[in-house]
Structure 1
Amino acid sequence: MARPSRPSLLAVFGHPDDEALLAGGVLAQHAAAGADTAVVTATWAAGTHRATELADALTVLRAGEPRMLGYADARVPESSPGRPRLCDAPIDELVEAIVAHIRAVRPQIMITHDAYGQLTGHPDHVRTHQATVLAFHAASLEHRYPDAGPPWQPQALYAATHPHSRAGTLSALMKRVGKTTLSVPDEQVTTAVDVGSYLDQKWRAILAHRSQVARERPLPGILSRLAPVDREPLIRTEYFTRLSPGLVPGMLPELTS
């Protein structure tokens, strides 16, 4: 399992738009620094309008072509006709699908949802977190999923999250549309990345998810109705909890006291 000559990052999220909202700045930052970046999206099928929006967002972030597992969104059955909902799919099947992408991309770093399911606790986010954690550890085992490619072990796994101290404004905004928010104690956040230099790029990637921007309840729609001076503090910093023991020099550095 020789290490690649270029740094690499793979994000695994539940829905189109999660990549832009939760890690758009980090993806843009790493791509600008010469890293290979890629995104696996667990729900929605190729050929749907949200697949098109995802492709546009990834172009903005320079994160390659969509890698879609094609399961149905738990709350939108038409997102993938004839396929099971992600939260109903066998966990081993889902893990194998993610392992195949890990072995194809061969990332040093991986990012996924936190165990709460990211702010609202969406079941697709929770399921994606669970499967990605298992896939992170299984990808290096040559006798697990042998048809998914040669073994590969990423060095570090991070969960995108929100600390209690920075979730108040978002909580108030989401409460207005009937949503609750789930954040973590500040001490559980190991990494905070200021993506101010990539804020325009991140915002353009969020706006690429046009169907979500047009609606009232999704976060892209909530953010789009804010003035820039109110919106920018909410998306300028991306927060992560390191779930694995490894550290990769120069990538997603830990917070220092």
Structure 2
Amino acid sequence: MTAPSILALYAHPDDESLVAGGVLARHAAAGARTAVVTATWSPDSHRAAELATALGILGAGEPRMLGYADFRVPDSAPGQPRFRDAPLEESVGRVVSHIRAFRPDIVVTHDAYGSSGHPDHRHTHRVALLAVHAAGLDGLHPLAGPAWQPGALYFTAHPRRACRALSDLLSGAGKHLHTVPDDRATAGVDVRPWLDRKWAAIRAHRSETARGHSLPALLSGLPPRDREAILGTEWFIRHTPGPHPGASANSPRSALAAAGGAVGRRPSYCLCPPAKWAAAADAVRSSAERAVMAPAGTRRGTASGVVAMRVNRRLTGGGPS
């Protein structure tokens, strides 16, 4: 079965590589279509050029930039409003256009905290949530193309215990990482087989790597083993947006959407393949330092009883091609 396609929506160039670079590389290597929409910075800026290099490394195509200004760098898009200041309906409509044009199975974006709490991260979460729901409704944004409902929406997350090393790294630089309770993370993807690509993509954002206490700069100062411990797993919270177009009333994806992710339902698209959940859960029990799990049990579609799991390389179709 072909790996599900992924459209990532993140606030700034380098966000995609830092928090979802492994998943993007993994799916691209499996033959899936992948793409990234970036909310801020001008398409003719140096950050856009760095983004193009990073996406080439990850196999995620050409940059798709909304071109708004960074909240903290107004000259990042001369003549354009800051992303947070742009009319919400306009921003959502532009993202809907990208969703309907690309027709992804999965959308990934920032969580409500926005990791560091950056205003652009938080606003991207809000815009993405609205756009994923609007994309499936043909009565909204009719000029953006035929309706398309992604099968799943995932929010980047940082479970407290699993991300303690990253939290400590940022704290030492006077920064704060917003974490979530461990049982809120519904997918943990082992991206170590693709870590070389992910790290190369992060380093492609050269201006960030050279900028003082930025996260890429802080990561560059770590020994490889410590860097792997931070970057080797990507964590997500799954949100079910609604029925997939063309799904019958009795199909699994329609049933899941109608039930709102009820206990016992299985997602039609997921970052951890459904048939591998139990085996993946067993695989992480022997790696307590690298994975955080809720109380033993089967992974469910709701927060209660969730297992936040690492997906072993042998369970996810092997390493990079």
What residue number does 2:267 align with?
247
Do 1:164 and 1:185's aligned partners in 2 also have CA atoms closer than 8 Å? yes
The separation in 1 between residues aligned to 2:151 and 2:140, in whole angstroms, is: 18
The separation in 2 between residues aligned to 1:113 and 1:236, in whole angstroms, is: 18
Write the deviation string for residues 130-185 of structure 1: whole angstroms up to 9, x where unpaired.
Answer: 01001111001111101111110000000011100022221221122221110000
Gaps of 5+ in 1: none
What residue number does 1:199 align with?
195
Do 1:109 and 1:248's aligned partners in 2 also have CA atoms closer than 8 Å? no
Write the deviation string for residues 16-39 of structure 1: whole angstroms up to 9, x where unpaired.
Answer: 001000000000000011100000
Do 1:45 and 1:68's aligned partners in 2 also have CA atoms closer than 8 Å? yes
Rg (Cα) greater in structure: 2
* Cα distance, 1:250–1:171 mapped onto 2, change above 3 Å: closer
What residue number does 1:84 align with?
81
The separation in 2 between residues aligned to 1:207 and 1:114, in whole angstroms, is: 24
Gaps of 5+ in 2: 241-260, 282-296, 298-321
What residue number does 2:154 align with?
158
- Tell me the amino acid that sits aligned with residue 153 of structure 1: Q
- Deviation of residue 250 (structure 1)? 6.3
The SS at the match of 2:230 is helix
What residue number does 1:146 align with?
142
What residue number does 2:47 align with?
50
Write the deviation string for residues 102-150 of structure 1: whole angstroms up to 9, x where unpaired.
Answer: 00000000100000012x1000000000010011110011111011111
- Deviation of residue 251 (structure 1)? 3.9
Percent identical: 56
Is the aligned partner of 1:170 residue 2:166? yes
* Cα distance, 1:30–1:73 mapped onto 2, change above 3 Å: same
2:177 to 165, 178, 181: 181
In the superposition, the TM-score normalised over structure 2's length comes to 0.76
What residue number does 1:103 align with?
100
1:39 to 31, 36, 46: 36
Do 2:151 and 2:269's aligned partners in 1 also have CA atoms closer than 8 Å? no
1:116 to 92, 113, 116: 113
Do 1:191 and 1:253's aligned partners in 2 also have CA atoms closer than 8 Å? no
* Cα distance, 1:60–1:179 mapped onto 2, change above 3 Å: same
1:60 to 57, 61, 64: 57
In the superposition, the TM-score normalised over structure 1's length comes to 0.94
The separation in 2 between residues aligned to 1:250 and 1:181, in whole angstroms, is: 26
